[in-house]
Amino acid sequence: MSFRVDVWEGGRIALFSLFSNRLRTILTTVGIGVGVCTLLAIVGIIQGINKSFADQLAGIGANTLQVSKFPWTVQGDWWTFRNRKDLSIKLVEPIRAASEHVIAVAPLFFDRGEARWLDRKMSSVTLVGTSPEYGTVSSWVVETGRFLTDADVDNRSAVAVVGAEVVRTLYAGVNPLGQRIYLDGKPFRVVGTLEAKGSILGENQDIVVVTPYTSFLAAYGKRRSPNIAVALDSPDNVLDVQDLITAVLRRERGTPPGVPDDFSINRPEQLANIYAQLTGALYGAATGVGLITLLVGGIGIMNIMLVSVRERTREIGVRRALGARKRTIILQFLMEASSVSAVGGTLGTVAGLGLAWTVSLITPLAAAVQPLTVVLGVGFAAMVGLLFGIWPAARAANLDPVEALRHD
């Protein structure tokens, strides 16, 4: 019962004191608010970028593998990988037969080139030569028309399926189906368009033109090493199937026992590891800046509370002389400090969310703040007030009542 009375009385006196010193309270609130705003804005942008990257990785597919001559992350001597024997289109069927969990296998040949229709042109377009199963492996969704067929591959048909950005740039206001598209001067007929996928690792996936790999090789040369994309029935089988494909490739390529693999099997999670390595230090530094700003706000609270203790020394002496316990005095000053921090934290949280949202609107950076982050932001601000209010509160409670009463 007495504790509840202490809390009630302490809260009432704390609010009265804060209201009586409005300018001081506002300035202290702004100080802690700036710290929380900075921290929340940074965290919001970081969480947004992380979510965007996770969504982009999901677009690749957690149940996919890609066999290639080079690893996605080159560690060591690049010439070691450069001197590897090229992969072959003949490896597609052995990989398909490696496991019952393999549901699709597609060869991939890549190049960069110019796409043109009439007087409209695009440079640095990603050109992909592949098979119909690439639609399954890559999760591409056909928006209009159709994807490639086995007949297109067998007949070396000069047909193309174009990405959303290519449609917007070359065929604005025109139905692209049936239209010609010239890839580095070579004519193809558009038979389908793809839904937009967005960017991954800064690469716009919609600036793409997909053709049958037989037509691609006829147009761009056959001396190329393909990548081989593999789709599985479940992400749970990725590691087991990777081991089986490794054994098949070593056998098919005649790799002797004890000799390192002369190919690479890449998984999307490897991109996540690269991302974590590249951004870990940056995110740590950014979060550190936010915490330092919040620390400065906490020091400001401590300074103001110490001033308040000095100004109210006689009041504290009177209360102690009338029987107020140390606990009552401590609660009063802690509630005063935490109230300022909580209000500043709430305002800073709102401002931080607004700042993160504004940054996401005017820059390519995404922003996404989880509800738990908001709660933690306000709670952390109140905790800062409590921590930095302990010393002033203890100092007030430990004042000698007689000496306090003599204070002028």
Confidence of residue 233 (pLDDT cuts 50, 70, 90): confident
pLDDT in tens, 106-139: 999 999 999 999 899 999 999 999 999 998 888 7
Structure tokens at 30: 């702004």
The pLDDT of residue 7 is above 60: no
Residue 1: pLDDT over 50? no
Q: Of 20, 22, 32, which is closest to residue 303 (Cα–Cα)?
A: 32
Reported as a pLDDT band with limits 50, 70 and 90, residue 16 is low
pLDDT attached to residue 402: 60
Query: Of residues 292 and 232, which shows the higher confidence score?
Result: 232
**Average pLDDT of 235-239?**
82
- pLDDT, one tens digit per residue, over 342-389 is 777 778 777 877 877 777 777 666 666 667 767 776 777 767 767 776
Distance between first and last Cα of the chain: 35
Q: Reduced to 3 states, what is the DSSP secondary structure of residue 227?
A: strand
Higher pLDDT, 324 or 204: 204
Average pLDDT for 228-237: 86
pLDDT, average across residues 173-187 = 93
- pLDDT, greater one: 69 or 271: 69
Average pLDDT in the chain: 79
The H or E element that residue 272 is part of is helix 268-311
Give dist(CA 327, CA 398) in Å, integer: 10
The DSSP secondary structure of 281-345, one letter per residue, reads HHHHHHHHHHHHHHHHHHHHHHHHHHHHHHHTHHHHHHHHHTT--HHHHHHHHHHHHHHHHHHHH
At 54-89, the pLDDT tens digits run 666 666 666 788 888 887 776 666 667 777 888 889
183, 160 Cβ separation under 8 angstroms: yes
Range name among 118-127, 129-138, 272-281, 296-305 with the lowest pLDDT average? 272-281
8 A C-beta contact, residue 182 and residue 122: no
Predicted local confidence at residue 60, as pLDDT: 61
Report which of residues 216 and 350 the model is more confident about.
216
pTM, rounded to two decimals: 0.63
What is the structure's pLDDT at 37? 78
The total of other beta-carbon atoms located within 10 Å of residue 269's CB is 13
pLDDT band, very low/low/confident/very high, at 169 (cuts 50, 70, 90): very high
Residue 173, phi then psi, degrees to nearest 5 = 80, 5
Residue 265 has pLDDT above 70, yes or no: yes
Per-residue pLDDT band at 176 (split at 50, 70, 90): very high
CA–CA dist 261, 257 (Å, integer): 10
